[in-house]
Amino acid sequence: MIVLANDGISESGIELLKDAGITVLDSRVSPEHLSNFINENKVDVLLVRSATQVREKLIDDCPHLKIVGRGGIGMDNIDVEYAIDKGLYLINTPTASCKSVAELVFAHFFSLARFLHESNRLMPLEGETHFDALKKSFHKASELSGKTLGVIGMGNIGMEVIKIGISLGMKILAYNRTPRSRTVEINFFDGQSLNFQIKSVNLNEVLENADFISLNTGKTDHYLIDTKELAIMKNGAFLVNTARGGGVNEVAMIDALESGKLAGAALDVFEKEPTPEVEILMHPGMSLSPHVGGNTMDAQNRIGEELAKQIIKLKDQL
């Protein structure tokens, strides 16, 4: 069996595959040459992240292909139903990067609440000449402990966000499109663990009461946070979107920042990715990152290993 990891794979994943007698091609092949490369090298398995697109034409052009694997949760860059109709096995890693994304949510929350996003821009420029003025301008900071965390989406990432919120002493309000109740287990360093039951509430209750709101949903065909939802939020709330570009109406979000309705907002995903609007990039109320939610070494190792184990399991069935 031959595997092409076109968007890369961790060394730990490569080692697992090699130990199982599977050949790994860790190449980066451009879209216009990908089908030829797959056919010429008799590739059985194509592994991708978010960069490589697996569309109908590629599937038709590569009849030897047996498995398509996505390192991550969403499979927006793969024509899933068409691939299944063509007899391909599809695999992904829905939980491998959840902790990494959840930690990024709170990295943005802390950055916004303590003005780190802005002070990191201004200190190199004005720290030597206007130190006292900067200190004064950043004095209205907020703690997260004791505040209310609103989580929109109770999937795997949303539950990891809730875990961190509970650990920080935050009150939890969660919304899910399909009402649900889930148990959160938090494990401690000394072997102890505690369980918390989280039951979803309606969206308006989350928006009206949450001080910090995290968007953790799958792809949608409409804004989950638009002008109406922003108007319902508490004055001075913080909003973070690490889910999908298009989940938040970015124009309405900027208006809410300008009016003071939002105290701060953060985006790891954008409506016009990979060329976000300049107004977003330059706004002092924004904490920004370039779609790196799952990009930690820890997550990459888990992704590579999970993909490898699934491929090895399928190997004997093909």
Catalytic residues, which ones? 244, 273, 291
Q: With 0-12 CB in 10 A as exposed, 13-18 as middle and 19+ as buried, what is 209? A: middle
Q: With 0-12 CB in 10 A as exposed, 13-18 as middle and 19+ as buried, what is 54? A: buried
Q: How far apart are CA 305 and CA 297, in angstroms?
A: 12
Is cis: bond before 274, omega within 30 of 0? yes
Helix-, strand-, coil-residue percentages of the chain, each rounded to 5? 40, 20, 40
Sign of CA dihedral 262, 74, 180, 163: negative
Q: How far apart are CA 217 and CA 215, in angstroms?
A: 6
Q: How many helices (H) and strands (E) does the chain have?
A: 13, 13
Q: With 0-12 CB in 10 A as exposed, 13-18 as middle and 19+ as buried, what is 119? A: middle
